[in-house]
Amino acid sequence: MPRQELARFLRERRAGLRPQTVGLPPGTDRRTPGLRREEVAELAHMSVDYYIRLEQARGPRPSPRVLDALAGALRLAPAERSHLFRLAGSGAPPPGSAAVRRVRPHVAHLLERLPDTAAIVTDAAYGLVAWNPLAQLLFGGDLGHGTTNLARRRFLGQGRMYESSSAEESGHIVVARLRRAAERYPHDGQLAALLDDLRTGSEDFRRIWATHPVHAPGHRTKVLDHPELGRLRLNCDVLLVPEDDQEVVLVTADPGSASARRIAELAGRA
């Protein structure tokens, strides 16, 4: 473990953190910017002496639990959190305690810049966290109303879903991702409740879950029966937001096709 590098990183991040950011009063007697060592120790639920020894490169190798607490106390971004674990010699950091259920502003703005592409963003538990107007027109006007979890729509019928040629395939994709989420976020209460509801309410879900499906996101095609536009042949491509374990799904049609012309007409209403 490069103790000097770890100590320097902790000092720099502590100095760059404003007290107001962590809910502390700014005070008038602070001789240096940033938080005090005592404040970081309190936020991380550790002894002040132990934290001081880490900053002075005298401490033992911190455990993953301690590193996770420090990352939270110092409000580290995902990349900074990963760097902290590497400096401490702990390898890849474990995932956070729960799936990220917010969308980053730059990802949301990306959807707004795609007027001719239907786009949605889903979290690790298949919760719908963002979408653009064309996606709402293409997949149903109740998108965003009632349940925003696509697994609940697929297996429990909670929300309108149009008939699709990929219904069986999508079921395996959903279950594969939920299995992966359950492994990554074993302490996520919302995810546990979702899985309980799916197991209780859907024999189809239980059947697919028992097969242990595995799926890697990428390109696929499907045929969607839209109530106004008729049958549409669609391309679905996935972009990953790895720091939040989220997926951006881009839905288009082949250029010049009848489906593309119909989607263009729909886009004119968005």
CA distance 101 to 164: 27
CATH class name, domain 3-87: mainly alpha
Neighbours of 32 (CB within 10 A): 8
pLDDT in tens, the chain (270 residues): 578 899 999 999 998 888 877 777 766 566 767 888 999 999 999 999 999 999 998 878 898 889 988 988 898 877 788 888 888 887 666 666 677 888 878 888 888 888 889 999 999 999 999 999 899 888 876 666 666 888 998 899 887 666 666 667 888 999 999 998 998 888 889 999 999 999 999 999 999 999 998 888 888 888 888 888 889 999 999 998 887 889 999 999 999 999 999 999 888 876
Amino acid at 136: Q
Q: Where do the structural domains in the chain lie, given as residue ranges? A: 3-87, 105-267
CATH class name, domain 105-267: alpha beta
Cα separations in angstroms, 185 against 97, 99, 178, 217:
6, 7, 10, 19
